[in-house]
Structure 1
Amino acid sequence: MRQILKGLATGALALALCGPVLAEPRVTGISADTEGWLSKTMTLRIALSEVAPFRVALPEDGTVRVEFDGAEAAPDLRLEPDAYLQRYRASAPDDETLRLDIGINRAAELEQARIDRSGAAPALVLTLALARSTVTPGAAPQVAAADALPVIVLDPGHGGVDPGAIRDGVAEKEIALTFGLELAEALRATGRYEVYLTRETDTFLTLRERVRTARSHGAALFLSLHANTVTEGNASGAAVYTLSARASDREAAALAALENRADAVGGAQLAVEDDDLAALLTDMAQRETNLRSVHLAEALVEGLGSSVGVIRSNPHRAAGFRVLKAPDVPSVLVELGFLSDSEDLANMTSPIWRGHAADGVIAAVDAWASRDRVLAPQLAATSVPLRD
């Protein structure tokens, strides 16, 4: 065990300053706060009835150990749900000590421990610096079966007779496939995911086939990879899109309409939709999936923003993309940039830039999967089974 801080003196001083206290201070609550999906800091708050001397240690297994002298756990002690805050265990190593082992899913270091008396009752506040990855490198966040790695399906957009956007001899289908293959290799190299692609060559697939591929593999998440272009004005930077019956803006609506015509470009007859999109999104199971997709999009915005820094204003948008309609697979469409922008085009054709972009996607997927492991069951508890 690596001892990070002994707060006995700090706790004792706080005890002396606060005047008379109860014979047995109680721990009444445990909560945590993190900002953003790629947060580097967690604030852990342990609510107390009265101040008690304390000690803090961080073993290497992602546990925060706090010991209080002369304290006890309240009978109704609750841990407020947080994606990084997994569990706690209260024990008494001796008659005078309360030990709390609080499980988080990240390795961490203690930056600060202080007593906060700004509320109605005091609290021990711990500021923790979080490591990027989970504490056990080989143990991926389990979204699928407990004995299997989570499955990611990558969907390089367009292909075959459908080139997608074209600028200066570069086709969107080529950018999407190149990045998809590189991202798949990088994800597999982590050892945390099983990865499939809807296409690995220059072939045409219908939108329905792409969705079917994700569902047939039991995907934990689905990423459709694209690039964009404009014929008038200027636009640059990456953006991510989720499914919505109502488009977030005109540009998102136009893009969805364009992408949804991909089947016609390939000569496929447009199938009659078996569900109206608005009706589909009222299904509780679909709403659960859509909320998880929104979380994934938020994480991707942070991941790409931190790794490549080229993000559009209002980077998370939504519209009725048919390729995102798997009712049980969180799905996001990623536009890497604009072929019509010279800097974006240079970036997307650069192996170095694509490597940085892949790093950002992996960081986002790691963060999302860690939280989704906790949040998904909570959402499912309020959902209903999918319709046959």
Structure 2
Amino acid sequence: MQAAHELSQVQLLSVSIVALGFLYVSWTVTRNLLFSPLRRFPGPKIAALTRWWDIYHTVKCDKFKVIHELHRKHGPVVRVGPNHLSFSSPETFRQVYVKGCATFLKDRDFYANIQPGLGPKYSGLFNYTNHQQSIDERKLLQAKLSPSALRQYELRFLPILDTLVAIMKDKAELDLFAYFKFLMLDAIGDLAFNQSFHQLESGEEHQYVIDFNNAFTLIGLSLKDAYYGLQRVFKYAQTRVDAFLSEEKPKPGTLMEAYLENGKPKPPYTPWYIALSGHGFIVAGSESTSITLTYVVWLLIKHLDIQRRLRLELKNVPPDATGAHLASLPLLDAVIKETLRIYPPAPSAMPRVVPSRGAEMEGINYPPNVRFQLLHRILNFRLR
């Protein structure tokens, strides 16, 4: 009897769990499809029900193509999540990302993962969501990123570039993307941490880079490996900052100097924050630039007429030309901009949040706290 009674209790618990699960799923479906303020916007029903639709296409690496097709089918506004909309209008882009940057704030859920952390202390320059913090940081770095400062950085960059040129002359075949990454990581590592990774000389990725790349691998990597990989990444960054701060006469012209006063961190900045910001500069500047350089070469190989015209333009450039001189070359500038249009190095959306009072744009009313996103590809190509 007792065994039967215990069995009936287990069965009752199982039935209760199944019933609660069914009720939850039913309520989620009903709420998202019938009662959500976003129900009037077109889009896949599965996307309206769950964020797993977005995750699936992100992992599959076809999200930008799928959303592009949705806009071609449904128009300028498409629902791509339970609380997420994608838009394709240039005017809405200007209102959200240009005029409205102080009111359409960054989506915390997204930006918290840009510099994946293990707690609040991992918050830094590249995942701020507070607009005032962004303004303060921009003012702090303004002098270090001015045209005159960039000209000074050329003196640090040219020897590293000469190393790549020598390697290219010596090798019959070369993985350009890999060596462009080595180039930019060496250059930005020197600029951010006052020390190159010396990847061009070794021809191999630094352990810092390997750990960081592994930490972002979604498949085939354990959470334990990702955790310890990130620990080593941030430990290396902090070690480099500590070494820089301990130098009596550090080499001038680094981005870290913006955070220092009399050789010590300016309040409220800490060595840890400076390390995290330096890491952010490396991540943001190396991959994006190496991708663009690779596509520039690839497109020039495909379009030989443009390649010939560019060679003629560059033949007239003196050997000691500055970056400012190169920036004034019309065809070179056009090639770079067209490459960025066709192959944006950061193709993912940068979501913003509709303010608590809601918003009205181009005759459409949007409810508060909705996540907005725009993919560069949609703006860069006509929807035909």
Question: What TM-score, normalized by structure 2, do the two folds share?
Answer: 0.28
- More helix per residue: 2
TM-score normalised according to structure 1 size: 0.28
Pick the structure with more strand per residue: 1
Report 1 or 2 for greater relative contact order, CA contacts < 8 Å, sequence distance ≥ 6. Answer: 2
